[in-house]
Structure 1
Amino acid sequence: MRSHVFGLQQSYLPICLHRLSMLLPSESLLAYLRTSVNTAFTSCRINRRSQKCRHSHGLPPHGIRRKRVILGMSGGVDSSVSAYMLLKEGYEVEGVYMRNWDERDENGVCPSEEDWKDVLRVCDKLGIKSHRVDFSKEYWINVFDAFLENLAMGRTPNPDIACNREIKFGSFFDRFIRRENSGEIKLGTTALESVGNDQCAQSRSLEKSIKADADLIATGHYARLHHLPDGRALLLRAIDKTKDQTYYLSTVPSTALQRTLFPIGAYLKSTVKRIAAEAGLHTAVKRESMGICFVGKRNFGDFIDDYLVQPHGAFVSVDGEVKGEHRGISRYTIGQRARIPGEVEKWYVAEKDPKRNIIYIASGRSHPALCRRSLGVKNWHWVSGEEPVELYSQGSIRFAVKYRYRMDPVPCMMQRSEESQGGYDITLDEPQNGLAMGQHVVAYVGDICLGGGTIERLGKWMYDKELPAI
Structure 2
Amino acid sequence: MKIAVAVSGGMDSLLALTLLKEQGHELIAVHGHFLPPSPAWETAEQGLAAVCESLGIPFHALDLHEEFEKRVVAPFERGYREGLTPNPCALCNPRMKFGVLLDAVQELGSDRLATGHYVRIEERGDFGRMLVRGVDRTKDQSYFLSLVPIDSLRLSLFPLAETLKKDVLAILAAQGLTPPVPGESQEICFVPNDDYQAFLTGRGVMPGSGPAELSDGTVVGTHQGLWRHTQGQRRGLGIPWQEALYVLDKDVARNVLIVGTKSELASNGCVAGQVNLMAAVDTWPDVVMVQTRYRQQAKPSHVRLVDGKLHFAFLEPHTRPTPGQVAAVYDENGVVLGGGVIEKPL
CA contact (8 A) 1:238 1:245 kept: yes
**1:408 alignment partner in structure 2:** 297
1:99 equivalenced with 2:28 (yes/no): no
1:259 equivalenced with 2:155 (yes/no): yes
- Which deviates more from structure 2 when the two are superposed, residues 445-454 or residues 72-81? 445-454
- Paired residues, number: 343
Residue 89 of structure 1 aligns with an amino acid whose one-letter code is: Q
**SS of structure 2 residue aligned to 1:242:** coil
- Which deviates more from structure 2 when the two are superposed, residues 277-286 or residues 263-272? 277-286
**1:354 alignment partner in structure 2:** 252
**1:431 alignment partner in structure 2:** 317
Matches of 2:127 and 2:267 in 1, distance apart? 39
Structure 2: any 5+ residue segments left out of the alignment?
Answer: none
1:89 equivalenced with 2:23 (yes/no): yes
**2:103 alignment partner in structure 1:** 174
1:297 equivalenced with 2:193 (yes/no): yes
Structure 1: any 5+ residue segments left out of the alignment?
Answer: 1-66, 105-109, 178-210, 392-396, 460-470
Give the drift of 1:405: 0.8
Matches of 2:116 and 2:284 in 1, distance apart? 34
**SS of structure 2 residue aligned to 1:283:** coil
Residue 83 of structure 1 aligns with an amino acid whose one-letter code is: L
Matches of 1:281 and 1:317 in 2, distance apart? 57
**SS of structure 2 residue aligned to 1:251:** coil
Matches of 1:426 and 1:245 in 2, distance apart? 22
Matches of 1:216 and 1:311 in 2, distance apart? 47
Give the TM-score normalised by structure 1. 0.68
Give the TM-score normalised by structure 2. 0.91
**SS of structure 1 residue aligned to 2:197:** helix
Partner residue of 1:334 out of 231, 244, 262: 231
- Which deviates more from structure 2 when the two are superposed, residues 156-165 or residues 317-326? 317-326
Matches of 1:111 and 1:311 in 2, distance apart? 34
Matches of 2:153 and 2:300 in 1, distance apart? 26
Matches of 1:352 and 1:244 in 2, distance apart? 31
Partner residue of 2:8 out of 47, 54, 74: 74
**SS of structure 2 residue aligned to 1:70:** strand
Matches of 1:102 and 1:322 in 2, distance apart? 44
Percent of aligned positions that are identical: 31
- Structure 1 residues 303-346: Cα deviation after superposition (integer angstroms, max 9, x where no partner): 11123522122333446554443222112210123414485975
**SS of structure 2 residue aligned to 1:408:** coil
Matches of 1:103 and 1:127 in 2, distance apart? 27
Residue 458 of structure 1 aligns with an amino acid whose one-letter code is: P
**SS of structure 2 residue aligned to 1:447:** coil
Structure with more contact order per residue of length (Cα contacts < 8 Å, sep ≥ 6): 2
1:380 equivalenced with 2:314 (yes/no): no
CA contact (8 A) 1:68 1:91 kept: yes
CA contact (8 A) 2:321 2:344 kept: no
> Aligned ranges for residues 13-412 of structure 1 at < 5 Å?
67-102=1-36, 110-177=39-106, 212-227=108-123, 232-283=128-179, 286-308=182-204, 309-318=206-215, 320-341=217-238, 343=240, 346-363=244-261, 367-384=262-279, 386-389=280-283, 397-412=286-301
**SS of structure 2 residue aligned to 1:282:** coil
CA contact (8 A) 2:146 2:336 kept: yes
CA contact (8 A) 2:192 2:199 kept: no
**SS of structure 1 residue aligned to 2:193:** coil
Give the drift of 1:353: 1.0
> Aligned ranges for residues 441-452 of structure 1 at < 5 Å?
441-445=327-331, 446-452=333-339
**SS of structure 1 residue aligned to 2:86:** coil
Residue 314 of structure 2 aligns with an amino acid whose one-letter code is: L
Give the drift of 1:142: 2.0
**1:455 alignment partner in structure 2:** 342
Give the drift of 1:434: 3.2
Give the drift of 1:288: 0.8
Matches of 1:165 and 1:142 in 2, distance apart? 10
**1:201 alignment partner in structure 2:** none
State the Cα RMSD in Å: 2.5
CA contact (8 A) 1:264 1:272 kept: no
Residue 411 of structure 1 aligns with an amino acid whose one-letter code is: P
**SS of structure 1 residue aligned to 2:183:** coil
- Which deviates more from structure 2 when the two are superposed, residues 87-96 or residues 276-285? 276-285
